[in-house]
């Protein structure tokens, strides 16, 4: 036992050297470009006067102060009307929120589906917070139970029930009768 104690003291003294270890500092890191907040796999509820207006799901979020924006990866947004009924669902691979206006930009593989059966496909769109409208100046495809319309430039309410395509390039009626 005495030898173990002496060995322990010897190892302790031998392990303490006079050299101080300095941490490695990454001088290329720009702290100003780091997000103020990061989150993973979270759900955010948006409400007004106690009523849910939208629910946002995302895989990764990065919130920045300069510029004031939030970047999102793999998003899904469920929109609700004033009665609390879900009206549509929007999905995209990427998103960006202007933190000054609360406008949401959905980017890459954007799909919006209304509960009435209308589907919107595009590469980019914006949900405007001030009037709860969905707008895009990109190529869009709208498929409803009755027709398929393609064109450039789009505006709609968030339930996709009242929409306008500015420059229509293709229209076809879909056969609703099944034999």
Mean pLDDT of the chain: 88
Cβ-contact 137, 128 below 8 angstroms:
no
Average of per-residue pLDDT across 68-80: 96
Q: Has residue 110 got a pLDDT over 60?
A: yes
Q: Which of 175, 114, 103, 166 is nearest to 140 (CA)?
A: 166
3-state secondary structure of 34: coil
pLDDT tens, position by position, 16-56 = 556 677 778 777 766 667 899 999 999 999 888 889 989 99
CB atoms within 10 A of CB 117: 11
Using omega within 30 degrees of 0 as the cis cutoff, is the peptide bond preceding 176 cis? no
pLDDT tens, position by position, 140-167 = 999 999 999 999 999 999 899 999 999 9
Q: Which of 73, 71, 70 is nearest to 57 (CA)?
A: 73
Which residues, at least 6 apart from 8, have a Cβ–Cβ distance to it below 8 Å?
none
**What is the pTM for the complete model shown?**
0.79
Residue keyed to tokens 């509820």: 45
Beta bridge partners of 157: 133
Residue-by-residue DSSP string for 91-156 = EEEEEEEETTTTEEEEEEEEEEEETTS-EEEEEEEEEETTTTEEEEEEEEEEE-SSEEEEEEEEEE
Residue 112 to residues 47, 81, 118, Cα–Cα distance (Å): 20, 15, 8
Domains delineated in the chain:
34-173 (2.60.450.10)
Q: How far apart are CA 40 and CA 38, in angstroms?
A: 7
**% of the chain at pLDDT higher than 70:** 85
């Amino acid at each position: 036992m005495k030898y173990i104690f002496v060995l322990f003291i010897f190892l302790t003294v031998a392990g303490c050297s006079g050299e101080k270890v300095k941490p490695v500092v990454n001088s290329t890191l720009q702290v100003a470009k780091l997000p103020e907040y990061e989150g993973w796999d979270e759900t955010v509820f948006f409400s007004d006067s106690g009523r849910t207006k939208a629910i946002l799901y995302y895989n990764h979020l990065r919130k920045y102060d300069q510029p004031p924006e939030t970047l999102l990866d793999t998003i899904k947004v469920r929109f609700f009307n004033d009665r609390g009924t879900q009206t549509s669902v929007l999905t995209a691979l990427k998103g960006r929120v202007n933190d000054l206006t609360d406008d949401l930009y959905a980017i890459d593989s954007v799909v919006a589906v209304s509960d009435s059966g209308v589907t919107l496909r595009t590469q980019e769109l914006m949900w405007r917070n001030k009037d709860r409208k969905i707008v895009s100046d990109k190529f869009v495809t709208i498929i409803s139970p009755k027709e398929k319309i393609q064109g450039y430039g789009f505006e709609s309410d968030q339930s996709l029930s009242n929409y306008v395509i500015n420059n229509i390039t293709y229209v076809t009626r879909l056969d609703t009768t099944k034999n």
